[in-house]
Amino acid sequence: MSSTADRSSDGWSGRTNTQMLAVASTTLLLSGLLWFNYSAVLPTVVERWGLSGVHAGVVYGAFQAGYLLGVIPFGVLADRYAARSVIAAGATVAALGGIAFGAVANGFLGGSILRFVSGLGMAAVYVPGMRFVSEWFGPSGRGTAMGVYVGAFSLSSGLSFVLTSSVAAGFGWRSGILLTSGLALCAGPLMFLLGRDNPDREFGGSGFDLSLLRDRSFLAGVSVYSAHNWELFGIRNWLPAFLVSTAAVGAAATPVATAGLLAGLVTAAGGVGNIAGGWLSDSVGRLRVIAVGLALSGAGTFLLGSLAWQSLSVLAAVVIGYGIVLTMDSAPTSTAITVAVDDEQLGTALSLQAFLGMLPGMVSPVLFGAALDIGGYALAMPTLGVGALLGVGGVYLFWTTTADGSLSAKSTAGAD
């Protein structure tokens, strides 16, 4: 592997490295408020707009579709030009789409279009941000840095649920959407004014390289990431609605607000899983952490769908624990890919990973909704768990395509 990663600080030494990680993570935290603010008020929007389970899933999936359409072009741009500028522009577009959704969306078609615009802008934030972080950290410390960055997304998602649902409970669902979208509008100026591109970075990447699609190790990593997203985006879209359906939350004085608060805590707990997974991947090996995380979270979906959940304290403890293991595999998977490709292809590889890996994240909420319409949550939840458990098989494929087939910390923690 070439240049920037080798010249960057190999861990946490270096004040500038830490500052740039803070800027990138804060930018993602603000922009990430957009991703699930619709999900936080989904029960109310479904009722007001008269949406079926499938239509509700499509409105959410429109964000994913916009993200997928933009992620490869913006990844290539981040290789060719300054990632900072790409991120700042995308964050602004995403926020404006969110503001428009909260202000004027009034049904399935308009809501889907505006969510699509927000997703398109977000495509220029998340993956280019990973490229930006990778420019500042070498392989031995990159897992921890990536865990912090991705953890900011989990924290943001949790805050989105809490802020949106809390404001919506008092002032209506549009106010909740407008608040989180307004905060997201601060992300672009923050990155543009305070971010700095690594002075050692070489610009002018060669663009999309089809050889990545012939790299068995890369494709195995994408399969693992696909399994992760199948479960992650399915559960995050439907979690508030699932919680409202339980006996424990349904008995609360304000079920929707209670579900939003609990969903926010669960999602924010994913930040702990991201950081822990990233740190452990630097210490004991990426593939071990990925496999354990997927196995635990996949089993958790079967548990959630099988019980009545009449005790709020027990339900809260289980879903928060589930939220932690749900994200343990994310940062190690992305980090493994960053150390497996050449530096000039880093943004392109991450964006291709995101494009292929996020396709299941667009489909699973719709399939979940269809299963929910047919057989309730007892049938819908396992549709997510099966995908996660199949991801464990993807980890085995990843292992067999590494240079020495070893699961030792040295070889799987991204040694250069």
Alpha helical stretches, state H, 246-329: 247-250, 255-284, 286-306, 312-326
pLDDT of 403 over the 80 cut: no
Nearest Cα residue to 58 out of 103, 109, 120: 109
Query: Please, which pLDDT band fits residue 5 given cuts at 50, 70 and 90?
Result: very low
Percent of the chain with pLDDT over 90: 41
> What is the pLDDT at residue 115?
96
The span from the CA of 274 to the CA of 288, in Å, is 15
Dihedrals phi, psi of 397, to nearest 5 degrees: -65, -40
Query: Please, which pLDDT band fits residue 212 given cuts at 50, 70 and 90?
Result: confident
> What is the pLDDT at residue 206?
55
pLDDT of 409 over the 50 cut: no
DSSP letters spanning 105-151: --SHHHHHHHHHHHHHHHTTTHHHHHHHHHHHB-HHHHHHHHHHHHH
The pair of structure tokens assigned to 380 is: 């819908």
pLDDT of 11 over the 50 cut: no
More confident position, 263 or 103: 103
pLDDT of 201 over the 70 cut: no
pLDDT of 406 over the 80 cut: no
Q: What is the largest CA-CA distance in the chain?
A: 58
Q: Report in angstroms the alpha-carbon separations of 175 from 105, 324, 331, 345.
A: 13, 29, 33, 41
Average pLDDT over residues 300-311: 90
Phi-psi region of 13 (alpha: psi -120 to 50; beta: other; left: phi over 0): beta
Q: How many CA atoms are closer than 13 Å to the CA of 255, on its beta-carbon side?
A: 16
Q: Which of 13-17, 118-122, 300-304, 305-309 has the lowest mean pLDDT?
A: 13-17
Q: Tens of pLDDT along 128-179?
A: 998 899 888 877 778 888 889 988 988 898 788 889 988 998 899 999 999 9
Q: Tens of pLDDT along 237-282?
A: 888 889 999 999 988 888 877 887 888 888 888 889 988 998 888 8
Kindly state the DSSP code that residue 203 receives in the 8-state scheme: P
More confident position, 348 or 229: 229
Beta-strand (E) ranges in 20-87? none
> What is the pLDDT at residue 208?
62
Average pLDDT over residues 32-47: 88
Number of residues in the chain: 416
Dihedrals phi, psi of 307, to nearest 5 degrees: -115, 160
Tell me how far the alpha carbon of residue 53 is from its chain's centroid: 22
pLDDT of 64 over the 70 cut: yes
Average pLDDT over residues 105-125: 94
Dihedrals phi, psi of 137, to nearest 5 degrees: -130, 130
The span from the CA of 399 to the CA of 193, in Å, is 41
The span from the CA of 239 to the CA of 255, in Å, is 13
- Regarding pTM above 0.85, the answer is no
> What is the pLDDT at residue 167?
92
Q: Which of 145-159, 179-193, 291-305 has the lowest mean pLDDT?
A: 145-159
> What is the pLDDT at residue 296?
94
Query: Please, which pLDDT band fits residue 6 given cuts at 50, 70 and 90?
Result: very low
Query: Please, which pLDDT band fits residue 362 given cuts at 50, 70 and 90?
Result: confident
The span from the CA of 49 to the CA of 395, in Å, is 42
Beta-strand (E) ranges in 123-209? none
DSSP letters spanning 285-299: -HHHHHHHHHHHHHH
The pair of structure tokens assigned to 110 is: 């308009």
pLDDT of 119 over the 90 cut: yes
Q: Tens of pLDDT along 372-398?
A: 989 999 999 999 999 999 998 888 888
Enumerate residues 6+ apart whose C-beta is below 8 A from 125: 27, 28, 31, 87, 90, 91, 94, 187
> What is the pLDDT at residue 117?
96
Nearest Cα residue to 141 out of 265, 18, 309: 18
> What is the pLDDT at residue 75?
84
Average pLDDT over residues 210-230: 84
The span from the CA of 40 to the CA of 36, in Å, is 6
Q: Report in angstroms the alpha-carbon separations of 414 from 289, 341, 345, 403.
A: 13, 11, 17, 12
Q: Which of 101-110, 263-272, 344-353 has the lowest mean pLDDT?
A: 344-353
Q: Report in angstroms the alpha-carbon separations of 35 from 30, 49, 182, 360, 397.
A: 10, 20, 13, 16, 31
> What is the pLDDT at residue 207?
58
